[in-house]
Amino acid sequence: MLQHVAYEDIVNAVLTFDSDKVTDVTKKALSLGEDPVKIIEQGLNKALRIVGKKFESGELFLMDMVAAAEAVQKVMRETLEPEILRRKVQRKTLGNFVLGTVAGDIHDIGKNIVGAMLFAAGFDVHDLGKDVPTEQFVARAREVNASIVGASALLSTSLPMQREIVRAMVAGGLRDRLRLMFGGAPVTDEWVKEIGADGYADDAVGAVKVAKKLLKIDFGLEVDGKQ
Protein backbone atom coordinates (compact mmCIF):
# COMPACT_ATOMS: atom_id res chain seq x y z
CA MET A 1 0.00 0.00 0.00
CA LEU A 2 2.92 2.31 0.79
CA GLN A 3 4.17 1.80 -2.77
CA HIS A 4 1.18 3.38 -4.43
CA VAL A 5 1.17 6.37 -2.14
CA ALA A 6 4.83 6.97 -3.00
CA TYR A 7 4.17 6.93 -6.73
CA GLU A 8 1.20 9.29 -6.38
CA ASP A 9 3.42 11.64 -4.42
CA ILE A 10 5.92 11.63 -7.24
CA VAL A 11 3.23 12.35 -9.80
CA ASN A 12 1.92 15.22 -7.70
CA ALA A 13 5.41 16.59 -7.18
CA VAL A 14 5.98 16.79 -10.93
CA LEU A 15 2.65 18.57 -11.29
CA THR A 16 3.87 21.33 -8.97
CA PHE A 17 6.65 21.95 -11.52
CA ASP A 18 9.05 22.32 -8.62
CA SER A 19 12.30 20.57 -9.47
CA ASP A 20 13.55 20.44 -5.88
CA LYS A 21 10.31 18.91 -4.71
CA VAL A 22 10.48 16.21 -7.37
CA THR A 23 14.00 15.31 -6.30
CA ASP A 24 13.07 15.27 -2.61
CA VAL A 25 10.04 13.04 -3.07
CA THR A 26 12.00 10.70 -5.34
CA LYS A 27 14.81 10.38 -2.83
CA LYS A 28 12.26 9.66 -0.13
CA ALA A 29 10.68 6.94 -2.25
CA LEU A 30 14.08 5.37 -2.85
CA SER A 31 14.83 5.44 0.84
CA LEU A 32 11.56 3.61 1.46
CA GLY A 33 12.82 0.85 -0.75
CA GLU A 34 11.02 1.69 -3.97
CA ASP A 35 12.43 0.38 -7.24
CA PRO A 36 13.97 3.19 -9.31
CA VAL A 37 12.69 1.69 -12.55
CA LYS A 38 9.16 1.59 -11.15
CA ILE A 39 9.56 5.16 -9.90
CA ILE A 40 10.30 6.17 -13.47
CA GLU A 41 7.53 4.16 -15.05
CA GLN A 42 4.77 4.61 -12.50
CA GLY A 43 5.75 8.02 -11.14
CA LEU A 44 7.63 10.22 -13.58
CA ASN A 45 6.37 8.82 -16.87
CA LYS A 46 2.80 8.85 -15.59
CA ALA A 47 3.20 12.49 -14.53
CA LEU A 48 4.55 13.51 -17.91
CA ARG A 49 1.70 11.74 -19.66
CA ILE A 50 -0.71 13.77 -17.52
CA VAL A 51 1.20 16.95 -18.35
CA GLY A 52 1.05 16.02 -22.01
CA LYS A 53 -2.70 15.52 -21.84
CA LYS A 54 -3.24 18.83 -20.05
CA PHE A 55 -1.11 20.55 -22.64
CA GLU A 56 -3.20 19.07 -25.42
CA SER A 57 -6.40 20.21 -23.76
CA GLY A 58 -5.10 23.75 -23.36
CA GLU A 59 -4.86 23.72 -19.59
CA LEU A 60 -1.06 23.86 -19.54
CA PHE A 61 1.38 25.78 -21.70
CA LEU A 62 4.93 25.51 -23.00
CA MET A 63 6.48 26.94 -19.85
CA ASP A 64 4.76 24.20 -17.83
CA MET A 65 5.97 21.51 -20.24
CA VAL A 66 9.52 22.81 -20.00
CA ALA A 67 9.38 22.99 -16.21
CA ALA A 68 8.02 19.46 -15.90
CA ALA A 69 10.51 18.12 -18.42
CA GLU A 70 13.46 19.76 -16.72
CA ALA A 71 12.41 18.58 -13.28
CA VAL A 72 12.19 15.02 -14.55
CA GLN A 73 15.45 15.21 -16.48
CA LYS A 74 17.24 16.55 -13.42
CA VAL A 75 16.06 13.82 -11.09
CA MET A 76 16.83 11.18 -13.72
CA ARG A 77 20.32 12.46 -14.30
CA GLU A 78 21.27 13.17 -10.69
CA THR A 79 19.36 10.64 -8.67
CA LEU A 80 17.79 7.78 -10.58
CA GLU A 81 20.30 6.90 -13.27
CA PRO A 82 23.18 6.61 -10.78
CA GLU A 83 20.92 4.43 -8.63
CA ILE A 84 19.99 2.23 -11.57
CA LEU A 85 23.67 1.83 -12.42
CA ARG A 86 24.52 1.05 -8.83
CA ARG A 87 21.86 -1.62 -8.58
CA LYS A 88 22.77 -2.90 -12.01
CA VAL A 89 19.14 -3.06 -13.01
CA GLN A 90 17.93 -2.52 -16.52
CA ARG A 91 15.52 0.13 -17.57
CA LYS A 92 13.32 -0.93 -20.39
CA THR A 93 13.90 1.41 -23.23
CA LEU A 94 12.05 1.74 -26.45
CA GLY A 95 15.29 2.33 -28.33
CA ASN A 96 17.99 4.88 -28.97
CA PHE A 97 16.77 8.19 -30.31
CA VAL A 98 19.33 10.62 -31.72
CA LEU A 99 18.06 14.18 -31.63
CA GLY A 100 19.30 17.63 -32.60
CA THR A 101 18.64 20.95 -34.31
CA VAL A 102 20.00 21.03 -37.85
CA ALA A 103 23.19 22.76 -38.92
CA GLY A 104 22.90 26.53 -39.11
CA ASP A 105 19.91 26.71 -36.78
CA ILE A 106 20.23 27.60 -33.11
CA HIS A 107 16.62 27.22 -31.99
CA ASP A 108 16.16 24.49 -29.46
CA ILE A 109 13.31 25.11 -27.05
CA GLY A 110 10.91 22.84 -28.91
CA LYS A 111 13.57 20.22 -29.52
CA ASN A 112 14.42 20.19 -25.81
CA ILE A 113 10.80 19.55 -24.87
CA VAL A 114 10.60 16.75 -27.44
CA GLY A 115 13.75 15.23 -25.97
CA ALA A 116 12.35 15.30 -22.46
CA MET A 117 9.03 13.80 -23.50
CA LEU A 118 10.74 11.03 -25.50
CA PHE A 119 12.99 10.34 -22.54
CA ALA A 120 10.01 10.16 -20.26
CA ALA A 121 8.23 7.88 -22.67
CA GLY A 122 11.09 5.42 -22.42
CA PHE A 123 13.53 6.27 -25.16
CA ASP A 124 17.25 6.65 -24.62
CA VAL A 125 17.68 10.13 -25.98
CA HIS A 126 21.03 11.24 -27.38
CA ASP A 127 20.62 14.99 -27.72
CA LEU A 128 23.32 16.49 -29.91
CA GLY A 129 22.22 20.03 -29.18
CA LYS A 130 21.78 22.76 -31.77
CA ASP A 131 23.51 23.71 -35.00
CA VAL A 132 24.52 20.08 -35.43
CA PRO A 133 26.52 19.18 -38.55
CA THR A 134 24.83 16.54 -40.66
CA GLU A 135 27.77 14.15 -40.28
CA GLN A 136 27.31 14.20 -36.53
CA PHE A 137 23.77 12.90 -36.83
CA VAL A 138 25.09 10.02 -38.94
CA ALA A 139 28.06 9.29 -36.70
CA ARG A 140 26.03 9.22 -33.49
CA ALA A 141 23.26 7.14 -35.08
CA ARG A 142 25.87 4.61 -36.09
CA GLU A 143 27.61 4.70 -32.73
CA VAL A 144 24.51 4.06 -30.63
CA ASN A 145 22.69 1.93 -33.13
CA ALA A 146 19.83 4.39 -33.23
CA SER A 147 16.29 3.27 -33.90
CA ILE A 148 15.21 6.79 -34.78
CA VAL A 149 16.96 10.00 -35.71
CA GLY A 150 14.99 13.20 -35.25
CA ALA A 151 15.98 16.70 -36.31
CA SER A 152 14.38 20.07 -35.75
CA ALA A 153 14.49 23.17 -37.95
CA LEU A 154 12.86 26.43 -36.96
CA LEU A 155 13.94 28.57 -39.90
CA SER A 156 12.54 27.92 -43.34
CA THR A 157 16.10 28.42 -44.60
CA SER A 158 17.17 25.47 -42.45
CA LEU A 159 14.75 23.06 -44.12
CA PRO A 160 17.24 21.87 -46.78
CA MET A 161 19.43 20.51 -43.99
CA GLN A 162 16.74 17.99 -43.17
CA ARG A 163 16.92 16.75 -46.73
CA GLU A 164 20.69 16.55 -46.33
CA ILE A 165 20.28 14.34 -43.29
CA VAL A 166 18.15 11.91 -45.31
CA ARG A 167 20.78 11.85 -48.06
CA ALA A 168 23.60 11.37 -45.60
CA MET A 169 21.82 8.44 -43.97
CA VAL A 170 21.40 6.84 -47.38
CA ALA A 171 25.02 7.49 -48.30
CA GLY A 172 26.15 6.15 -44.93
CA GLY A 173 24.25 2.92 -45.42
CA LEU A 174 22.06 3.61 -42.39
CA ARG A 175 18.78 4.51 -44.01
CA ASP A 176 17.28 1.04 -43.86
CA ARG A 177 18.32 0.54 -40.25
CA LEU A 178 16.48 3.45 -38.70
CA ARG A 179 13.53 5.79 -38.96
CA LEU A 180 13.80 9.52 -39.64
CA MET A 181 11.53 12.12 -38.06
CA PHE A 182 11.53 15.85 -38.56
CA GLY A 183 9.83 18.75 -36.85
CA GLY A 184 9.87 22.50 -36.37
CA ALA A 185 7.69 25.45 -37.32
CA PRO A 186 8.21 25.44 -41.13
CA VAL A 187 8.08 21.63 -41.37
CA THR A 188 5.00 19.98 -42.80
CA ASP A 189 3.81 16.47 -43.54
CA GLU A 190 4.25 17.18 -47.25
CA TRP A 191 7.85 18.29 -46.79
CA VAL A 192 8.72 15.24 -44.76
CA LYS A 193 7.22 12.96 -47.42
CA GLU A 194 8.94 14.92 -50.17
CA ILE A 195 12.37 14.37 -48.68
CA GLY A 196 11.73 10.70 -48.05
CA ALA A 197 11.56 10.73 -44.25
CA ASP A 198 9.24 8.67 -42.10
CA GLY A 199 7.54 10.84 -39.56
CA TYR A 200 6.41 14.29 -38.59
CA ALA A 201 4.71 15.80 -35.59
CA ASP A 202 3.85 19.33 -34.71
CA ASP A 203 4.55 19.14 -31.02
CA ALA A 204 6.33 17.11 -28.37
CA VAL A 205 3.30 15.08 -27.42
CA GLY A 206 2.73 14.20 -31.05
CA ALA A 207 6.40 13.38 -31.50
CA VAL A 208 6.23 10.69 -28.83
CA LYS A 209 3.17 9.15 -30.46
CA VAL A 210 4.75 9.17 -33.89
CA ALA A 211 8.02 7.75 -32.60
CA LYS A 212 6.27 4.87 -30.88
CA LYS A 213 4.13 4.26 -33.93
CA LEU A 214 7.16 4.13 -36.21
CA LEU A 215 8.86 1.49 -34.16
CA LYS A 216 5.79 -0.66 -33.75
CA ILE A 217 5.15 -0.60 -37.44
CA ASP A 218 8.69 -1.46 -38.35
CA PHE A 219 9.87 -3.86 -35.78
CA GLY A 220 6.84 -4.98 -33.84
CA LEU A 221 9.04 -4.53 -30.78
CA GLU A 222 8.77 -2.01 -28.09
CA VAL A 223 10.48 -3.48 -25.13
CA ASP A 224 14.19 -3.87 -25.43
CA GLY A 225 14.84 -1.55 -28.35
CA LYS A 226 17.02 -4.01 -30.20
CA GLN A 227 16.66 -4.30 -33.93
- Comparing CA positions, the residue from 49, 98, 56 lying closest to residue 72 is 49
Which stretches within the chain are classed as H helix? 2-14, 19-31, 36-38, 45-56, 62-75, 81-87, 109-121, 134-144, 159-171, 189-194, 204-219
Site for another protein in 155-194 (CB under 8 A): 156-157, 185
Say whether 37 sits in a helix, a strand or coil: helix
Name the phi and psi angles at 150, rounded to 5: -125, 140
Catalytic site residue from 107, 108, 127, 198: 107
Q: Is 36 in the site for another protein (CB under 8 A)?
A: no
Options 8, 203, 218, 222; binder of another protein; rule CB under 8 A:
203
Options 41, 81, 124, 202; binder of another protein; rule CB under 8 A:
202
Catalytic site residue from 9, 105, 108, 198: 105
Stretch that binds another protein, among 25-33, 59-67, 118-126, 168-176 (CB under 8 A): 59-67
Least distance from another protein to the Cβ atom of residue 175, Å:
27
Site for another protein in 95-134 (CB under 8 A): 109-110
Q: Is 58 in the site for another protein (CB under 8 A)?
A: yes
Q: Would you call 103 exposed, middle or buried from its count of C-beta atoms within 10 A (0-12, 13-18, 19+)?
A: buried
Pick the closer one to another protein by CB: 61 or 143.
61
Least distance from another protein to the Cβ atom of residue 166, Å:
20
Half-sphere exposure of 56 (CA within 13 A, CB side): 13
Options 1, 2, 63, 190; binder of another protein; rule CB under 8 A:
63
Q: Is 59 in the site for another protein (CB under 8 A)?
A: no
Segment (H or E) for 126: strand 123-127
Q: Does the active-site annotation cover 108?
A: no
Q: Does the active-site annotation cover 152?
A: no
Dist CA 33 CA 150 (whole Å): 37
| β-strands 123-127, 148-152 pairing | unpaired
Q: Catalytic site residues?
A: 105, 107, 158
* Site of interaction with another protein (CB under 8 A): 55, 58, 61-63, 109-110, 156-157, 185, 202-203
